[in-house]
Amino acid sequence: MTTSRTTHRPLVIAAVMAAMAMVAIEATIISTAMPGIVGELGGLSLYAWVFSGFLLTQTAATIVFGKLADIHGRKPVLLAGIAVFLIASVLCGFAWSMPAMIAFRLIQGIGAGAIQPVSLTIVGDLYTAQERGRIQGFLASVWAVSAVVGPVAGGFIIAHASWSWIFWINLPVGLVASGLFIAFLHEGERRERRPVDAAGAALFTLTVAALMVALTEAGEARWSVVAVAAGLGLVAAVLLAVQERRTPEPVIDAALWRRRPIAAANATSLLAGMALIGLTTFLPMYVQGVLGQTPIVAGLALTVMVLGWPLGATLAARSLHRFSLRRILVTGSLMLPLGAIAVVTLQPGSHPVQAGAGSLVMGFGMGLVSNASLMLIQEIVPWTQRGSATASNIFSRNLGSTLGATVFGAVLNHGLAAAGSTVTADSLQQALAAGGLPGEAESVRLVLQHALHQTFWAVLLISAAAFATALLVPHVTLGRAREVPAE
């Protein structure tokens, strides 16, 4: 890539951080606002789809936009993604019913599916691996801060203004980010015109959407919906396989995905994503429901994980001059089962600090894994494949989160049922959110302890599997030059 104009890297990174903060905060700010939104719009039975719908389209769109960024360039695809996100944000603020809110959140997720992978691809273009790790540590901090600030900001807005503003505050942030990208990100003219695999993109989106609907509804035991979604997804997957073999420019480049470093790193990211969602979903339930701590203490036990992630990502960057990417990735993946051991060994009389320690170690390990895996993948592909490769890693982690929520939820429900309890994971979460346990508290507490212990063993097994796949990652030599002129 050559261009007569230079890219102003600091201002472009400021724009990347603003764009990603917009997506990160939107994922958390709505949590505290939803009771007020449901109170005005109704549709309590559709509550979960406000969150699931966003994640569904975001995950499905990630691969498609990564490919489009390789074909048409990063800048136009990213600007289009921001525009879609902002338009959907405006529409969400004007939603007149819960179905309308869900529809607009689906559109918003499409925009988010462009922003995250293309932003990280731009970082991969502008910086060498030694430089890039530090920048990705900054970006991890954006997610950590957003996880803490989002719920607080949502509560403040609900208390002092209309809930619509939790969506409309994206407008100034998105417009500023777009302006910075337009003014300071310069890409050379593409000399090669490649066709867009529109049919493959549509079939891939349908496949992933059907899979995620099936997984989401399986967690709610709506088996008729699961059967229909799974059947639709299977048909779409078969048609996708046929289409990708016929097209010269497939959305899913099998040769790229099969490369050992990419396959192993993505498998590690998927399993790590599964393990982490198991921790974030069920550790607060244990701290509050079994250890008898307050919701604040339960939240703090999880907050240290959110803080450990950017610390691990930053350390990964600082360690590149001493250790290989493979060693950093393996070390991070080893910390996942080590942290899970601290969680598995929790007992009713344990101090919540033990839960926090396990959470911190797993979060720190995830920071190492996420940063090292992404840098490794970006390092071994050319510009024309970096968008697709980056998107594959993000997609794997997001899919892992969805799989983990379903698998660990099923393990917990199985443990509850095996103990003869009629309580479900959903009813427990609702009861704990309200400050109490259903029925006879002590008997429910014992059942909950047993079921959660089984769930944490499942988290440990998945964490160990992540470590095993990390061992399959080969050594990668750093040294790729920066490909976009910058000042």
Task: Return the DSSP state at 471.
Answer: T
Helices (H), 185-222: 198-219
pLDDT in tens, 395-409: 999 889 888 888 888
Q: What is the pLDDT of residues 90-106, one digit of tens each?
A: 999 999 999 999 999 99
Lowest mean pLDDT among 185-194, 251-260, 288-297, 454-463: 185-194
pLDDT (average), residues 10-23: 92
- Environment class of residue 164 by beta-carbon count within 10 Å: exposed (0-12), middle (13-18) or buried (19+)? middle
Kindly report the pTM of this predicted structure: 0.85
Of 202-211, 271-280, 295-304, the range with the lowest mean pLDDT is: 295-304
Q: What is the model's pLDDT at position 425?
A: 59
Amino acid identity at 84 = V
SS3 content of the chain, % helix, strand, coil (to 5): 80, 0, 20
Provide the pLDDT confidence category of residue 481 given band limits of 50, 70 and 90: very low
Mean pLDDT of 453-470: 95
Q: Report pLDDT for 479.
A: 60
Question: What distance in Å separates the CA atoms of residue 71 and residue 74, rounded to the nearest whole number?
Answer: 9
Predicted pLDDT of residue 167? 92
Q: Using pLDDT thresholds of 50, 70 and 90, give the confidence band for residue 189.
A: low
* Residue 441 pLDDT: 57
Residue entry with tokens 């997609």: 395
Q: Which two tokens stand for residue 297?
A: 């203490």
Q: What is the mean pLDDT of residues 378-399?
A: 90
pLDDT for residue 273: 93
Highest mean pLDDT among 196-200, 273-277, 427-431: 273-277
Q: Name the percent of the chain lying above pLDDT 90.
A: 35
pLDDT for 24: 86
Region 67-73: mean pLDDT is 89
Rounded mean pLDDT, 123-135:
80
Query: Of 241, 217, 335, 289, which Cα lies nearest the Cα of 450?
Result: 289
CA gap 164, 436 in Å, rounded: 31
Q: What is the rounded CA–CA span in Å between residue 51 and residue 62?
A: 17
Which tops the pLDDT comparison, 405 or 129?
Answer: 405
| pLDDT tens for each residue of 304-339 | 888 888 888 888 877 877 888 899 999 999 999 999
Q: What is the mean pLDDT of the chain?
A: 84
Q: How far apart are CA 152 and CA 170, in angstroms?
A: 16
pLDDT at 86: 96
Place 459 in a pLDDT band, splitting at 50, 70 and 90: very high
- For range 6-35, the mean pLDDT: 85
Residue 480 reports pLDDT greater than 80: no
Residue 251 pLDDT level (bands cut at 50, 70, 90): confident
Most confident of the ranges 3-12, 208-217, 398-407: 398-407
Please answer whether residues 338 and 308 qualify as being in contact, where contact means their C-beta atoms are separated by less than 8 angstroms: no
* pLDDT recorded at residue 391: 92
* Structure confidence at residue 3 (pLDDT): 44
d(CA 362, CA 141) in angstroms, rounded, equals 16
Is the pLDDT at 485 greater than 60? The verdict is no
As to burial, measured by CB atoms within 10 angstroms (0-12 exposed, 13-18 middle, 19+ buried), residue 64 is buried
- Number of alpha carbons in the 13 Å side-chain half-sphere of residue 220: 15
Q: What is the pLDDT of residue 141?
A: 80
> 137-141, 195-199, 449-453, 477-481: which has the minimum mean pLDDT?
477-481
Give every CB contact of residue 408 below 8 A, 6+ residues apart in sequence. 274, 277, 278, 281, 282, 455, 458, 459
Q: Enter the DSSP assignment of 345.
A: T
Q: Which residue has the higher pLDDT, 321 or 385?
A: 385
- Residue 18 confidence (pLDDT): 93
The sign of the torsion formed by the CA atoms of 67, 398, 60, 407 equals: positive
**Residue 434 pLDDT exceeds 60:** no
- Check whether 191 has a pLDDT greater than 70: no
* pLDDT the model gives residue 1: 44
pLDDT at 199 over 50: yes
Q: How far apart are CA 102 and CA 158, in angstroms?
A: 19
Sign of CA pseudo-dihedral 211, 215, 216, 222: positive
